[in-house]
Amino acid sequence: MWERACSRKRFQDQQESRLTKENIRSTVSPMNEITHNETRDIILDVTEKLIYKSGIAATSMDLLVKTAGVSRKSIYRYFADKDALVVAALQRRDIRWMNWYKSAVDQAQTPADRLLNLFSVLTTWFASEGFRGCAFINTSGETGDPQDPVRKVAREHKQKLLDYVCELCTEHGAEDPHRLASQLLILIDGAITVALVMGDHSAADNAQCMARKLLDL
């Protein structure tokens, strides 16, 4: 009887061990299935850089293939055509740029300082290597159709920026946050454009002076 009890105990232990291992595999497997697609990321990175540097029209599929070091087949595996690729690259830039901008602006301690920091952060960006203005204004200028997907991405980007500035205006206690945010957005985009066209990195400082008047600071 003792031997049978020991045998039964060993069998139970083996079953528990098997079930534990199966549970571990079933939990880890779905996590491992979510993999980082390096090829797709490389294609998007290169597309974004080329478009930001030279524009959509100047960024041919041949140039993308050569610069990214991938085949046309690889590009079309992830994107239906060049238009879809351009839109995906701009959407990716939108997320990254907004995350960077908001994180940098939010370093200021008070609502008023954060509103002024909207322009201080731009000054740093203007002086950075490779600055070529707003990617969304630039690419919108290459499209004639207001309903073009590129123009749609640009509108969504500017709306996100407007919403963020409006949040800051609300925190500041502005009487009409949306109206004030709309005015500040014009100063932001105006500074970006002047910095690009005129090469004037102090454009953001000048815009900040105007913002102080709007904010009574």
- What is the token pair recorded at 19? 């079930």
- What is the token pair recorded at 149? 């997907």
Q: What is the pLDDT of residue 3?
A: 45
Please identify which residue in the block is written with the tokens 């949306």.
178
The neighbour count for residue 114, using CB atoms within 10 Å, is: 20
The one-digit pLDDT tens for each residue of the chain (217 residues) are 444 444 444 444 444 444 333 333 333 333 233 234 788 999 999 999 999 999 999 999 999 999 999 999 999 999 999 999 999 999 999 999 999 999 999 999 999 999 999 999 999 999 999 999 999 999 999 998 999 999 999 999 999 999 999 999 999 999 999 999 999 999 999 999 999 999 999 999 999 999 999 998 8
Single-letter code of the amino acid located at 61: M
> Among candidates 95, 94, 193, which has minimal Cα distance to 137?
193
- What is the token pair recorded at 118? 């909207």
- What is the token pair recorded at 170? 């609300």
Domain ranges of the chain: 1-34, 90-215
- What is the token pair recorded at 209? 């002076």
Q: Is residue 112 classed as helix, strand or coil in its secondary structure?
A: helix
Distance CA 74, CA 72 (A): 5
Please identify which residue in the block is written with the tokens 């390096």.
38
Non-local CB neighbours of 200 within 8 Å, separated by 6+ positions: 194
The CATH topology of domain 90-215 is Tetracycline Repressor; domain 2 (1.10.357)
- How large is the angle between the packed helices 177-198 and 203-215, nearest 10 degrees? 160
What single DSSP character describes residue 216? T
Single-letter code of the amino acid located at 140: S
Please identify which residue in the block is written with the tokens 């005015």.
183
The model's pTM is 0.80
Residue 100 C-beta-side C-alpha neighbours within 13 Å? 10
